[in-house]
Homo-oligomer: A and B are copies of this chain.
Amino acid sequence: MTQKKRIVVVGGSAAGPKAAARAKRLAPDAEVTIIQRAPELSMASCGYPYFVGGVFNNRNSLLSTPYGEVRDPNFFVNTKGVLARTETEVTSIDRAGRTVQCRDLKSGAVDEIPYDTLIIATGAKPRKPPVPGIDLEGVTTLQSMRDADFLRRIRDEGTIKKAVVIGGGLIGIETCEALQLSGIDITVIEMLPQILMFLDWEMAKVLENHVRSKAANVITDVKLAGFLGENGKLTGVKLENGTELPCELAVLAIGVVPNVELAQTAGLEIGATGGILVNEYMQTTDPDIYAVGDCVELLHRVTGKKTRAPFGDLANLEGRVAGENAALGNSVTFPGTIHTGVCKVFDFNAGSTGLSESRPRQEGYKNVATVINASLDKPEFMGAKLVISKMVVDVDSGRILGVQCVGPGDVSKQVAIAAMAILGKLTVTDMVNADLPYAPPFSLPIDHSIATAHLMENKLKGRLNGIGPVEFKKVLDDGKKPFILDVRTSGEFDQMRIGIGETLIPIGELRHRLNDLPADKEREIVCYCKISLRGYEAAIQLQAEGWKNVKVLEGGVMAWPYGREK
């Protein structure tokens, strides 16, 4: 009898178990082993914030199959036919001898496991800034099951009153919500001018304003100086500007660093982005070694360049590809990422796919157009909610490069539609007449995504002279004095208004009140309404009446990222 093929997987969190299970399915004769440092396997780590926040209470849910069986080593042996060794660390790889050296973290015993094919899925670790006090009790991250347990205990005990979340990225913002739901007074600090860097500034500000409205404080553009403590316990966070924020808990969420030491020490090539270099088969520079998950770098399918994309969904897909190739030889490829992501933040959702506005210019696209569309996700009479989308297009090819969405409405569907458009290399013209599912419980007759494409088409064809809020604010700050026209009803105006010297003329009255508009037909006029649908109607009317320089404030009052008078 020939020796069975031995496939060893280093790492058992997401990509690793997927790769192992896939390999065993396709090569039932192979011996497949997972070596995992943590006590748990296959953790639903993206679910940690919801466990911490009390959305659900059963810790085992994070470790279970959909039918409630905990994915422990027993489960892996019985259901998957895969041997899983937990609390075991791989300390080195001997590529020449095709073995990995392991250490049992409980007993300290070391041993060596031979492999024919190795899959590295060592994940990533939270980035930690080199500041004083980082080791104080009360400074934590939300990366491991241990972290989740620690924060959940804090919720359950209810003794901590103030916490600071360091980093306004996806995990920071999800942690902010989780802790706020636990009744803790939260401040999020972010070194950059905005939270959620996958959004453009004005989109992030809309979300930031929502987070503030939920009584969580957000401070942007500040740097962490260090942690303050007494008797080894955290008492506050100090900022570089001198501010001290008293708190008993600080959660570091300033991103992750791929765990590449093991691969690097073994002589595998590390890419320019800091992740393990792999080819389209998820194979490292050693043909017997694959790598998957948060520790690798991937191809960005829009830019064609290498990028890192430490997302749980991609980890699973990469694991599936590497598992198949490890079992059968290179046969399937992983095409890369378009950086699709989504998150929930209190009553708002935010997501993005493809490139945000600043990226295409960095990537050499010369002619990029953007548009903002604020509109409902379904008819008003079916309980509609707002979605604000921003689309980024390469003007030369018409191709959709990216879409971002924020708001209380169905952002997840909108981002999914946009992601599919980008994967299909669709142009604005394609999206303009897309055939999407319509029924009042789910969408508008013209789906939000199609309406965004309509606006973009109007803009590209010179029919909509749109101006984004950032550009418009610059016009105002530069001291220019356009005529600003709000065309909502007076009731809406009384309830909420920007307050930048605007004149109110409801759209239905506009045709009869042309005398209230500038006599100078060359004067710049900027129209808007709640979401700028009526603003667009107004601009069309004014252009037809001879005004030459009429613009529409994209997204209207709802997408205005700055302070409002009311």
Residues in A lying within 8 Å of B, measured CB to CB? 14, 25-26, 28-29, 44, 46-47, 50-51, 55-56, 58, 61-62, 64, 66-69, 74-75, 78-81, 301, 311-317, 320-321, 334-335, 337-344, 349, 351, 353, 375-376, 379-382, 384, 410, 412-413, 415-417, 419-421, 423-426, 430, 432-443, 445-447, 450, 454, 463, 488-489, 492, 507-511, 529-531, 533-534, 537, 540-541, 543-544
Chain B nearest CB, measured from A432 CB (Å): 8
Contacts A337-B435, A344-B442 known; A320 to B454 CB distance under 8 Å? yes
Q: Which residues of B contact A316 (CB under 8 A)?
A: 445-446
- Cα distance A445–B44 in the bound complex, in angstroms: 9
Q: Which residues of B contact A507 (CB under 8 A)?
A: 78-79
Chain B nearest CB, measured from A178 CB (Å): 12
Q: Are A440 and B340 in contact (CB under 8 A)?
A: no
Contacts A56-B382, A433-B334, A511-B78 known; A440 to B69 CB distance under 8 Å? no
Contacts A78-B508, A440-B46 known; A313 to B446 CB distance under 8 Å? yes
Q: Which residues of B contact A489 (CB under 8 A)?
A: 67
Q: Are B342 and A437 in contact (CB under 8 A)?
A: yes
Q: Are B69 and A508 in contact (CB under 8 A)?
A: yes
Q: Are B81 and A541 in contact (CB under 8 A)?
A: yes
- Cα distance A88–B419 in the bound complex, in angstroms: 46
24 contacts between A and B (CB under 8 A): A44-B440, A47-B382, A51-B381, A58-B381, A61-B381, A67-B534, A69-B508, A75-B508, A81-B544, A312-B445, A313-B446, A315-B445, A317-B432, A321-B433, A342-B439, A412-B443, A416-B437, A416-B447, A417-B417, A419-B434, A420-B426, A423-B426, A423-B434, A424-B426
Contacts A423-B424, A450-B317 known; A433 to B79 CB distance under 8 Å? no
Q: Are B56 and A445 in contact (CB under 8 A)?
A: no
Contacts A25-B540, A447-B313 known; A46 to B439 CB distance under 8 Å? yes
- Cα distance A431–B156 in the bound complex, in angstroms: 42
Q: Which residues of B contact A343 (CB under 8 A)?
A: 439
- Cα distance A55–B441 in the bound complex, in angstroms: 10
Q: Are B415 and A437 in contact (CB under 8 A)?
A: yes
Contacts A79-B507, A425-B424 known; A437 to B380 CB distance under 8 Å? no
- Cα distance A380–B63 in the bound complex, in angstroms: 11
Q: Are A417 and B420 in contact (CB under 8 A)?
A: yes
- Cα distance A488–B440 in the bound complex, in angstroms: 38
Q: Are B435 and A338 in contact (CB under 8 A)?
A: yes
Q: Which residues of B contact A415 (CB under 8 A)?
A: 437
Chain B nearest CB, measured from A478 CB (Å): 31
Q: Are A47 and B426 in contact (CB under 8 A)?
A: no
Q: Are B419 and A436 in contact (CB under 8 A)?
A: yes
Contact of A56 among B47, B79, B381, B435 (CB under 8 A): B381
Q: Are B419 and A437 in contact (CB under 8 A)?
A: yes
Contact of A80 among B420, B421, B447, B537 (CB under 8 A): B537
Residue in B closest to A425 when the chains form the complex, CB atoms:
B424
Chain B nearest CB, measured from A381 CB (Å): 4
Contacts A380-B61, A508-B79 known; A436 to B340 CB distance under 8 Å? yes
Q: Which residues of B contact A341 (CB under 8 A)?
A: 437-439
Q: Are A433 and B317 in contact (CB under 8 A)?
A: yes
Q: Which residues of B contact A412 (CB under 8 A)?
A: 413, 437, 439, 441-443
- Cα distance A423–B420 in the bound complex, in angstroms: 9
Contact of A435 among B353, B376, B379 (CB under 8 A): B353
Q: Are B342 and A442 in contact (CB under 8 A)?
A: yes
- Cα distance A342–B343 in the bound complex, in angstroms: 26
Q: Which residues of B contact A47 (CB under 8 A)?
A: 379, 381-382, 440
